Chains A and B, each alone.
With several copies, the nearest count.
Chain A
Amino acid sequence: MNTFDVEAVRRDFPILERTFDGKPLVYLDSGATSQKPAQVIEAESAFYRLHNANAHRGIYTLGEEATEAYEGARSRIARFFGVEDASRLVFTRGTTESINLVAYGWGRASLGEGDEILITEMEHHSNIVPWQLVAQATGARLRYIGLTDDGLLDLSNLGELLGDRTKILGVTAMSNALGTITPLKQLVDAAHAVGAIVVVDAAQAAPHMPLDMDGLEADFLAFSGHKMLGPTASGGLLAKRELLDRLQPMFGGGDMIREVFHDHATWNDVPYRFEAGTMQVAQQVGLAAACDYLDALGMEAVRAHEVEITRYAIDRLLEAGAVVYGPKDTDIRGGTVSFWYHDIHPHDLATILNEEGIAVRAGHHCAQLVMRRYGTPATVRASFYVYNTNEEVDLLVASLARAGDIFAS
């Protein structure tokens, strides 16, 4: 698609027909979870209606169809990230489970006293708490890359933070609280130079910009299907193949084993040894349909659409007197815009916007370290996706004025 036809896109999303007290839904919380196009909803339910069986287990035709659907989804989703070898994709419920898998299967299994894990203050709790637990269990030290006043990673002391002791670098590709796109390639190169592996949190980046797993040379990359038009419970962990061979399984159970004896078991091949028990088969099939949908739009076009709307939103918000967090330059930020309007508490603002049908998030966005860094307990966050329009931004800004009236009175 050359020009991005947002009206055509909107027609694919049944939920956008919802109204609240007569006011159409203005959904500006795609950073939390995206809405789903009819194509994805249908792919998941068609699986149940036509091909449902347990994957990898049945010798009968239906079982083969289910296995093909599931493994076909694996190939399709891996390809969305430029990965041809589907065995490099481990299915999980999403980013949080993916990062925990690395934390258990690599972090706990290999770190010890004297080792260091380096993450950033920009991380979502899902890329912080698992490493705190690893540090507590192993004696490794958890360190942080700080933030600049502009909402960027402060790399001025990277040489001091990243060294021979650093075994793992965990970093988000795009901040869910600030919108910041991080200089991943530079960080990956620096980490590899000291022998650390890099775990990329792509929860926010994957839905919104082209990502090339191998171009980045990331070691592990975690993503959530539900944020990229896919069903809840879909998502995965991409990895370099040789690292998966060394990763320890986290869960024991069915399908991840080769043989089970009374006192021990042997593991199945990669990636199956990481997928214990019945997996989210229908949901990964739905996510494959979401990848089809996004690739048909073109991830460059998706990004361009969001850059446009984000530029417009930041300009209008600043005009209206809002304080916008994170970088203002759309070259280095995504469509997640955190702000304060006057001194109206984010909760109050969100409640008032909701009366106009506008759904924004108010809170710490699972990024309390970011909030603390910028001295606020919470922000309002508007986050944009393929179905949002500049008119929706206008509505948002007009409603801010109304909130201002209430609190000025």
Chain B
Amino acid sequence: MALDDIYKEVILDHYKNPRNKRDLPGAEVSCTRNNPLCGDEITVFAHVDDGTVAELTFQGAGCSISQSSASMMTEAAAGRTVDQTLELAGQFRGMMAGEVEPDDDRFGDLVALKGVVKYPIRIKCAVLAWDVLQEALQDTGRATGAQPHAVG
């Protein structure tokens, strides 16, 4: 059954028991973004210390794919340098574009999201958290994040 590819146990587990889902007081870096199609929303908080993502948490609401991806991301990225994290983001994107073969060591639970590739419209859900993280890290100056072009 095709649905097994997407609703794997590990995904549902991260969805129901999200890791690192909390505010991070005093975070140097934070960013919020939503998916305009569906309203899924993710905020990422990070302590960046000497070029390293020392601690990484998230808040948000949305579907199992967006929320589990965020949860897995906080596990996979924490402790890496900013550059390594951005590289990982690129590789994750590559996996979701069907271009990069995932590597268990680096990806950990994230490998489970590979099945989402077969559901093109859900890919945006899977990469949302990574978009936010990337934006947060690239743009440490802004505290409130990436809401573009407000009216008025």
Contacts and interface: CB of A to CB of B under 8 A. Distances in A.
Contact of A59 (B41, B122, B152): B122
B61 to A, nearest CB: 6
Contacts of B122: 59, 347, 351
A346 B63 contact: yes
Interface string B28-42: 000000101111110
B38 to A, nearest CB: 5
Contact of A363 (B2, B37, B41): B37
Contacts, number: 90
A57 B35 CA distance: 12
A355 B38 CA distance: 19
B98 to A, nearest CB: 15
B2 to A, nearest CB: 6
Contact of B64 (A265, A267, A345, A362): A345
Contacts of A67: 121
Task: State the main secondary structure of chain A at its contact with B.
Answer: mixed
B107 interface: no
Contact of A266 (B41, B121, B148): B148
Contacts of B125: 347
A352 interface: yes
Contact of B3 (A259, A267, A406): A406
Nearest to A68: B120
A63 interface: yes
A15 B120 CA distance: 22
Interface in B132-152: 147-152
A347 B150 contact: no
Interface residues of A, number: 40
Contacts of B62: 345, 347, 377
A264 B38 CA distance: 19
A265 B150 CA distance: 6
B63 A345 contact: yes
Contacts of B12: 406-407, 409
9 A-B pairs with least C-beta separation: A347-B63, A377-B39, A345-B63, A258-B36, A267-B149, A264-B151, A363-B38, A136-B152, A364-B39
Interface of A: 21, 56-59, 63-64, 67-68, 132-133, 136, 257-259, 263-269, 273, 345-348, 351-352, 355, 362-364, 368, 371, 377-378, 406-407, 409
Given A258-B36, A348-B7, A348-B65, 6 more contacts: A56-B37, A59-B122, A266-B148, A345-B63, A351-B3, A406-B12
